């Protein structure tokens, strides 16, 4: 039985692992990927200590720090169930079962699905949730980014460097996110911002060819 099982290896999970290792606890980290959402970020300019660093570079530093402590790590493993009985916590994954006295859940965030027709059909066929991973596939193409917060603006800024045209489809009246990101996006001549716009469907044949939207007031 472990003293502690940490679920997730993003910034929070890795930080917890470093603290647990320094306290010489008998613990383990379970994760389906290392880095979490930070690994999917493009340019990071708001992390204390680094005026500029990419998400991949920052994640590499996190991982290296954790591995310096020879942490017991279960990678590519997803937690299915966590339950407690008589003071023992039972963790079931897609690959095995573990017991622990305590658990830290640092599973982080997931990309939010739109829930519209065509989304499941065109996943990885022109539709992606990761500009960092798949951005190069859209070189010299017209691309739509759905959303108006920091994640969407970050994705747009990555795509601006390679795409022919970038549309930001935002369901609010104005863009959210940090002011500095909004300034960078709105000041670029290949970006078109569609506020008050709701995605109704993703369309295409073998791959995505477009999206259907509805705009308030249009």
For residue 184, give the CATH number of its domain: 3.50.50.60
Residues whose CB falls within 8 Å of the CB of residue 115, separated by 6 or more in sequence, listed in order: none
Q: What is the pLDDT of residue 133?
A: 80
pTM here is 0.69
Band of pLDDT at residue 131, cut at 50, 70 and 90: confident
Asked whether residue 112 is domain-assigned, the answer is no
Long-range contacts of 178-185 (CB under 8 A, 24+ apart): 178/46, 178/150, 178/153, 180/45, 181/150, 181/153, 181/154, 181/157, 182/153, 184/153, 184/157, 185/153, 185/156, 185/157, 185/160
Pair 89, 174: CB distance under 8 Å: no
Decide if pLDDT at 45 tops 80.
Answer: no
For residue range 154-177, list pLDDT tens digits in order.
999 999 999 999 999 999 999 999
Indicate if 84 and 19 belong to the same structural domain. Answer: yes
Q: What is the pLDDT of residue 56?
A: 87
Domain of 88? 2-105
* The length of the chain, given as a count of residues: 218
Indicate if 81 and 21 belong to the same structural domain. Answer: yes
Please state the φ and ψ torsions of residue 208, each to the nearest 5 degrees.
-65, 135
- The span from the CA of 60 to the CA of 71, in Å, is 15
Token pair of 120 as six digits: 């499941």
Indicate if 6 and 81 belong to the same structural domain. Answer: yes
Indicate if 73 and 165 belong to the same structural domain. Answer: no
Asked whether residue 45 is domain-assigned, the answer is yes
Asked whether residue 26 is domain-assigned, the answer is yes
Pair 204, 117: CB distance under 8 Å: no
Asked whether residue 123 is domain-assigned, the answer is no
Q: What is the pLDDT of residue 77?
A: 94
Q: What is the pLDDT of residue 143?
A: 97
Tell me how far the alpha carbon of residue 115 is from its chain's centroid.
18
For residue 56, give the 3-state DSSP assignment: helix
Average pLDDT over residues 169-194: 94
Q: What is the pLDDT of residue 135?
A: 85
């Amino acid at each position: 039985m472990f003293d502690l099982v940490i679920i997730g290896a993003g910034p929070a999970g890795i930080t917890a692992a470093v603290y647990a290792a320094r306290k010489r606890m008998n613990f383990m980290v379970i994760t389906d990927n290392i880095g979490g959402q930070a690994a999917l970020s493009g340019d990071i300019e708001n992390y204390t200590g680094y005026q500029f660093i990419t998400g991949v570079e920052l994640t590499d530093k996190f991982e290296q720090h954790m591995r310096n402590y020879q942490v017991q790590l279960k990678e590519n493993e997803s937690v299915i169930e966590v339950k407690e009985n008589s003071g023992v916590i039972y963790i079931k994954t897609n690959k095995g079962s573990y017991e622990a006295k305590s658990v830290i859940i640092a599973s982080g965030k997931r990309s939010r699905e739109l829930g519209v027709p065509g989304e499941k059909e065109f996943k990885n066929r022109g539709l992606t949730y990761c500009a960092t991973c798949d951005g190069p596939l859209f070189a010299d193409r017209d691309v739509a980014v759905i959303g108006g917060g920091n994640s969407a603006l970050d994705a747009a800024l990555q795509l601006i460097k390679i795409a022919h045209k970038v549309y930001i489809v935002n369901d609010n009246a104005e863009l959210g996110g940090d002011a500095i990101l909004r300034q960078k996006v709105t000041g670029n001549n290949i970006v078109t911002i569609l506020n008050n716009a709701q995605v109704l469907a993703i369309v295409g044949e073998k791959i995505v060819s477009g999206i259907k939207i509805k705009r308030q007031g249009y």
